Amino acid sequence: MRAIWILALNTFKEVIRDRILYALVLFAMLLIGFSLALGQLSFAEQARISANFGMSAIHLCAVMLAIFIGSNLVYKEIEKKTILTILARPIGRTQFILGKSLGLALLIVTMVSGLALVLCMVFWGLQVHVGLRFVLVLLGLLAEALVLLGFTLLFSMVTKPLLVVCFSVGIFMIGHWQGSLQFFAERSQGRELKVITWVVKYIIPDLERVNWQDLILYEQPVELAAKMWSLGYALSWFAFCVSLAVVLFKRKDVG
Amino acid sequence: MNLLQVRELKKSYARGLLGRKVSVLKGLSFSVPAGVVTGFLGANGAGKTTTMRCILGFDFVDSGQVDVFGGPLNVAAKRRLGFLPERPYFYEHLTGVEFLQFYAHLTAPIKKAELRARIERLLRRVDLLFAKDRPLRNYSKGMLQKIGVAQALIHEPELVILDEPMSGLDPDGRLALAEIILQTAKQGTAVFFTSHLLHDTERLCERLVVMKDGKGIYEGTTEELLNKSGFELEVSFLKNGERQLVKVGTDIEVQSLLMKLLNDGAKILEVRRLRLTLEEIFVNMAMRGGRT
């Protein structure tokens, strides 16, 4: 566990000292700031528009971090051969993958928390009370980012970063459109779409299960038990992908 | 006692679109004893780096056996082992001190005060104390190589494996690194390293392992290899006011030549034993196909 933590801290430090992260944070801050201006376009729905835009900014930032940094997380170590000096130490390949994932997960949590604080100030300025609902929305965002990180890690075991990004963006899009896909499949006459939808349901996670922004936007009731199940669902996908990534990594020549 | 024992190592890689198997190691065997500097030589593509990768478990062997400290490479063995890869890239965001702390913590728990003292001692030894708080991205190539050696030594290993530690260094850097290797060996750590710089290898290594086309073609002491290749004796003398040089092949020949010259009234200036350098022997063995 100690080794995993040391690797995680190093990964955290590595990304936090990277300029790309600051560009991403700046981008998210600008979006949040822009949400205020955008809200003013509406007379009656200013708070809702600002909240929607602000939360989407955090969502986008967390997803981009998971996919773009995640796609290079192990690949860069192998390409630059920094992995060699790590694996020559008493570190197993499982520990290596877990340490790297934990480091990036920590970073996503830190960044989402920081941006959430900024959004809280926006909410405070707009006199919107959010409380537990906002915390749940953030947990949902983090769970989604973890699922995407898991898939990104898994893809990076078998292909190069550019393709990893493409595949992960695909998972992100299909993951959010599963509901629509099923809707169309049910109304479709052809069998093919039904089969595809059935397969997709089992091989791609339904990311809408952890998209809880409606809790704030439409003040939906908080069903805590259902939310916890959905969190468990997302974390299971993350654990499954990371485990599979570990299995593949254990068979990989890294020299 | 052998710290590293490699037996009948075979490794092939799939190349090209069709995944054609290319054999890189074809039954390599050698050993590295404790407390000495062993050089690992071979032409480009002979399989040195592949051997290193297989020894350290980065790549999986097809067949054969690697024993490190008398057994398979496990966590306990890795604690006693240091490694510097070829053309090392390190975490550029870390400073020199952070970098060494990171690797020390990864190897084993260590008290803060002890680690601080060890890092300071090591940085002084590799002459990088002045740059200890600089990020590695600001280090020169020579400095990176030295900090790389320092990370390989931070946990005070019994065996250090260095892959081309001197490549790309200027003469000063090479000299400094050679000094570090010698000091390390003096302190009882066995050093196993590959190098293309045979002059340095000849000076540093007590033992040599030479490979060609994935197989070992020599294993033994450097001295033995140099002596095996034979020598010449060069006699320099003054005769009739003229300086002359004569080369002979054996001790007996030189005795009779000296007697003759003295009888003729010549003045003997110098008798030198000439032998092939390691570079010449290596070219003969590894490039032209000779075998010792």
Residue A180 has pLDDT above 90, yes or no: no
Retrieve residue B142's tokens. 């020579």
What per-residue confidence (pLDDT) applies to B289? 56
Domain residue extents for chain A = 2-250
Bridge-partner residues for B23, per DSSP?
B12
Contact assignment for B90 to A85 by CB distance below 8 Å: yes
For the stretch A75-107, what's the b/e string if a residue is b when 16 or more beta carbons lie within 10 angstroms of its beta carbon? Answer: bbbbeebbbbbbbbbbbebbbbbbbbbbbbbbb
Determine contact, residues B270/B258, Cβ cutoff 8 Å.
no
Phi then psi dihedrals of residue B254, to 5 deg = -70, -35
pLDDT, tens digit, 9 for 90 and up, residues B172-186: 888 888 888 888 888
Closest by CA to B4, choosing from B193, B246, B204, B156, is B193
| Helices A93-125, A132-156: inter-axial angle, 10-degree rounding | 150
Q: Is the pLDDT at B84 greater than 80, yes or no? A: yes
Closest listed residue to residue B254, CA positions, set B243, B264, B268: B268
Predicted local confidence at residue A43, as pLDDT: 65
Query: Is A78:A97 a contact under the CB 8 Å cutoff?
Result: no
Edge-first strand listing for the sheet containing B37-42: B81-84, B159-163, B190-194, B37-42, B207-212, B215-221
For the entire predicted model, the pTM comes to 0.82
3-state class (DSSP) for residue B17: coil
- Each residue's pLDDT tens digit, B48-72: 889 999 999 888 899 999 999 988 9
Chain A residue with Cα closest to B154 = A89
**B42 to chain A nearest CA, in Å?**
19
Chain A residue numbers with beta carbons less than 8 Å from the beta carbon of B56 are: 84, 87-88, 255
**Of the listed ranges A77-81, A124-128, B4-8, the one predicted with least confidence:** A124-128
pLDDT at A219: 75
Distances (CA, A) of A163 to A71, A156, A169, A233: 9, 9, 10, 26
CB–CB contact A89 B78 (8 Å):
yes
For B78, which of A10, A82, A90 is closest by C-beta distance? A90
Query: When comparing pLDDT for B245 and B289, which is higher?
Result: B245
In chain B, pLDDT over 90 holds for what percent of residues? 34
Chain B contacts to A (CB-CB under 8 A): 13, 49-50, 52-53, 56-60, 75-76, 78-79, 81-85, 87-91, 93-94, 102-103, 105-109, 148, 151-152, 161
Report the pLDDT value the prediction gives residue A138, as an integer from 0 to 100: 92
pLDDT for B288 equals 60
Say yes or no to pLDDT of B88 above 80.
no
| Contact criterion met (CB below 8 Å) for A133 and A222 | yes
Q: How many CB pairs under 8 A join A and B?
A: 76
Model confidence at B168, pLDDT cuts 50, 70, 90, reads: confident
Is the distance from CB of A24 to CB of A35 less than 8 angstroms?
Answer: no
What beta strand segments (E) does chain B contain? 2-15, 20-33, 37-42, 63-68, 81-84, 159-163, 190-194, 207-212, 215-221, 231-239, 242-248, 267-275
pLDDT in tens, A25-81: 888 888 888 877 777 776 667 777 888 888 888 999 999 999 999 998 889 888 888
pLDDT at B292: 47
Tell me the chain B residues in contact with residue A91 when contact means C-beta distances shorter than 8 Å.
78, 106
Residue B10: pLDDT above 90?
Answer: yes
Tokens read off for B7:
């037996």
- To which H or E segment does residue A138 belong? helix A132-156
Q: What is the predicted pLDDT for the residue at B40?
A: 93
What confidence tens digit (pLDDT) does each residue in B180-210 have? 888 888 888 999 999 888 888 888 899 999 8
pLDDT at A191: 84
